[in-house]
Structure 1
Amino acid sequence: MRIFISPVFAAGILGWAVLPSAAQTAEGCTALANLPLEGGFVTSANVVPAAGDLPAFCQIRAVALPAITIEVRLPLDGWNGKYYQAGCGGFCGILGRADASAGWINAMRPGLMKGYATATSDSGHHGLSVVDATWAHENPQAERDWGWRSIGETNRVAGRLIEAFYGNAAGTSVFQGCSTGGRMAHMAALRYPEMFDGIISGAPALDYTGLVGTKMSWLMQANTDSNGDAILKPGKEKLIGAAVMAGCDGLDGAEDGQISDPRLCAPDLSALQCTAQTGPDCLSEAELGVLAKWWQGPVDSDGEQLYPGGVPAGSEPYWWLWLTGNEQGGGRLVNAFTTGFGAHMAFAEDPGAGWSPRDFDFDTHPAAMEPMARVYNSDDPDISKFREAGGKMIVWHGWADAIVTPFKTVAWFEEAAEIAGGRENLEENVALFMIPGMDHCGILPSPGGVSQANLDPLTPLENWMETGERPSSIFVEDAN
């Protein structure tokens, strides 16, 4: 049993007589609105009827002080006795955002469908969007809650509500998250090693200061001219992608329309350089310069690599969303993330709205972000305590992720294996799946149609925890 209930909370449960033991009725649900919480309070409790593939559930909203808003969903019938906690994406700040769609990334949906009691949070603040970082300005409490505390507080509050509603605590406990949710998944293994029996980490943004501060500033500076305009504009992604695929598709021994390992690919697009005038079918010298820097990744003035790898070859179909934007003005989320992060989150003293990633100094600013790295980052490869507790972790990442570097995830795994005494030892607790051609968190479908809809890491994780059989795949057709 992983959900932590302190003696104080346990005493409160025994002394609270509003609900009968194991009450799973509509009346029992709405009565939870009066449940006392230490360090917080319940704001609402209502029954949500069954719909589609989701059962009827008790939906509770609560606040863990100072400002972590939490949603807990408890099945009225058929609770499997387990608990499922979901992370959130980007800078978070929008409670239940992932459950507003049919996707499963950072959503409570996968757990609720299987009868789990489920929960998530806004990570400790309200944001106008997931790229809104203004909440963090001179707000160390909110930064701490986003960094790690909201994970434990969501678990604590959910545990209190589960015991009150069902009359007993949950047994097996699972955490699932992608991107920032993946960062949270690794943070759970580090800071709360005994809280979750199983963890699913997708495309983890392990190192926010290195990724969003350093690398994304590098990407933005590389594609900005002296007038502040983009050099590589929307429209040439297909040209670039076709040339990259032609040069690298067969390097893995199979010409199958995807790059199985972009580390093998060193794109050479010199044949596309414009000879007379620029146009849609060629690349200017400046555009080729942008690509060279994107593939290289950030370096300091001495040429030392500051972050592992650059933009992976094969990610071109997704550049409009993350890097270049489209003709309608959408996308370019890398620019939004790194601008907000630098202005309000990256440094102990926030520079504020006047900050621009063009101000980032690759010699001095990486070290200046160290105080906040200790709050946000979960790239420590030493997960010994989680392994000692018997926890199982599935880590997955798309090789064509243009925003969260897949090379960092591979580096983390290799370092974790070394600490564990070898890959074989680590794989007793950690299974890594690198997926060719997949976008960040499988948000956009690949040219071959592969997206998050093709994945089901929960089923093999459950089987691993129950039978000890290590998963060999997380694809839907193999997981069931």
Structure 2
Amino acid sequence: MDRSSLQSSCGRDATLAVDNGGFAGGINWLEMGAGARYGFAALSIDTGHISTATQLEWALGRPESRTDWGWRAVNGEGRVDSTGNNSTNQSVIEHSYFSGCSTGRGQGLKEAQISSGSFDGVLMGAPAWYTSRLNNWATKVAQWNWPADRPGHIPWTALRTLAREVSRRAEDSTRATPQSESVCLTEAQIGTLRRAYADYVSESTGELIQPGPLLGSEWTIHAVLNYSDASPYTIGYERYFLLDDPEFGVSDFNDSVVELSARSDPGGATADDYGAVA
């Protein structure tokens, strides 16, 4: 359901549609408030469900709900945004814009590809647009790092030391390659890091699935390395979006999961029609 906040005294005849991050469902009142502060009539959607960003159980066995989240809810928001009237003075909306975060920005990019007239401008930063590959890559990284008793396991506390060392070497204009004597990692742990930094390439086809993270990402790489099993964003995607199997675990993951994801793209969330926005 779409709801509009009161337009501020700036009186612009423009709307700003906002969205949620992760797999969250609910009205994003905070971002709506920011839009109203700058004079926009702000809109938000719940993407068809109510949940936190890391709760995906709502998608189990519900393909239509996945589609709502993947693109259909934002498509409806775009139609309201571009054709609706200003609730305070009944003037016709002249311009409409979209702003989102993470998967929200991915959904905004998807909307720009399937319906370019929905918004006059789309603000996207770090959009999680390659849903069928990004989520599976993060599960693969978790598979390299878990369980915790494996020799190459890297605890999240070690990443802070690594991040400081990479930053120091970058400042010294030297190559920031982690070394065991400087960051106190074992050879097995360094091997895990090298795999995590490297591109994820399919063992069966040789196809590039996902480029690895860049040096300098160590401050946030715990998001894929250091959940106690795997990131709920990613293992949840496989359990509740792709396979309809709540018992699916990290150890069950292999390249066939990626291939299935690419074929089916549950929810139609992947925004890879580059020519549509060229």
TM bin, normalised by shorter chain, reads: 0.7 to 0.9
Q: Flag the 1:230–1:134 CA change in 2: closer, same or farther, 3 A.
A: farther
Give aligned-pair identity as a percent: 22
Aligned counterpart, 2:197: 295
- Which deviations, in whole Å up to 9, do the C-alpha atoms of 1:205-253 show, x marking residues without a partner? 01111001x21111100101486898111321232123323444455xx
Aligned counterpart, 2:250: 357
The answer for unaligned runs of 5 or more in structure 2 is none
**Which structure shows the bigger proportion of residues in helix conformation?**
2
Measured in 1, the distance between the counterparts of 2:55 and 2:164 equals 34
Aligned counterpart, 2:28: 96
Secondary structure class of the residue paired with 2:215:
coil
Q: Which stretch shifts more, 130-139 or 237-246?
A: 237-246
- Which deviations, in whole Å up to 9, do the C-alpha atoms of 1:297-349 show, x marking residues without a partner? 322225835334212211222344x1455xxxxx779611111111011x2xx
Q: How does 1:389-408 map to 2 (within 5 A)?
A: none
State the 1:295 CA deviation.
Answer: 0.3
Q: What is the TM-score normalised by the length of structure 2? A: 0.87
Residue 367 of structure 1 aligns with an amino acid whose one-letter code is E
Aligned counterpart, 1:405: none
Secondary structure class of the residue paired with 1:119:
strand
Residue 222 of structure 1 aligns with an amino acid whose one-letter code is W
Aligned counterpart, 1:120: 44
1:367 aligns with 2:259: yes
Q: Is contact 1:208–1:373 with CA below 8 Å preserved after alignment?
A: no
Measured in 1, the distance between the counterparts of 2:151 and 2:103 equals 29
The answer for unaligned runs of 5 or more in structure 1 is 1-68, 100-106, 256-264, 273-280, 326-330, 385-419, 421-480
Q: Is contact 1:94–1:130 with CA below 8 Å preserved after alignment?
A: no
Q: Which stretch shifts more, 302-311 or 109-118?
A: 302-311
1:304 aligns with 2:196: no
Residue 236 of structure 2 aligns with an amino acid whose one-letter code is G
Residue 340 of structure 1 aligns with an amino acid whose one-letter code is G
Give the root-mean-square deviation of aligned CA atoms: 2.8
Residue 264 of structure 2 aligns with an amino acid whose one-letter code is P
Aligned counterpart, 1:244: 166
2:134 corresponds to which of 188, 203, 211: 211
Measured in 1, the distance between the counterparts of 2:228 and 2:94 equals 43
State the 1:166 CA deviation.
Answer: 2.9
Residue 85 of structure 1 aligns with an amino acid whose one-letter code is A
Q: Is contact 2:224–2:231 with CA below 8 Å preserved after alignment?
A: yes
Q: Flag the 1:194–1:338 CA change in 2: closer, same or farther, 3 A.
A: same
Q: Flag the 1:244–1:159 CA change in 2: closer, same or farther, 3 A.
A: closer
Q: Is contact 2:16–2:35 with CA below 8 Å preserved after alignment?
A: yes
Q: Is contact 1:125–1:142 with CA below 8 Å preserved after alignment?
A: yes
Residue 223 of structure 1 aligns with an amino acid whose one-letter code is N
Aligned counterpart, 1:446: none
- Which deviations, in whole Å up to 9, do the C-alpha atoms of 1:160-186 show, x marking residues without a partner? 763565323200111111211110121
Aligned counterpart, 1:395: none
Measured in 1, the distance between the counterparts of 2:147 and 2:205 equals 21
Aligned counterpart, 1:258: none
1:340 aligns with 2:236: yes
Q: Flag the 1:228–1:122 CA change in 2: closer, same or farther, 3 A.
A: farther
Q: Is contact 1:217–1:358 with CA below 8 Å preserved after alignment?
A: no
Q: Flag the 1:185–1:159 CA change in 2: closer, same or farther, 3 A.
A: closer
Q: Is contact 1:323–1:332 with CA below 8 Å preserved after alignment?
A: no
Measured in 2, the distance between the counterparts of 1:165 and 1:243 equals 55
1:162 aligns with 2:72: no
- Structure scoring higher RCO (CA < 8 A, sep ≥ 6) equals 2
- The number of equivalent residue pairs is 277
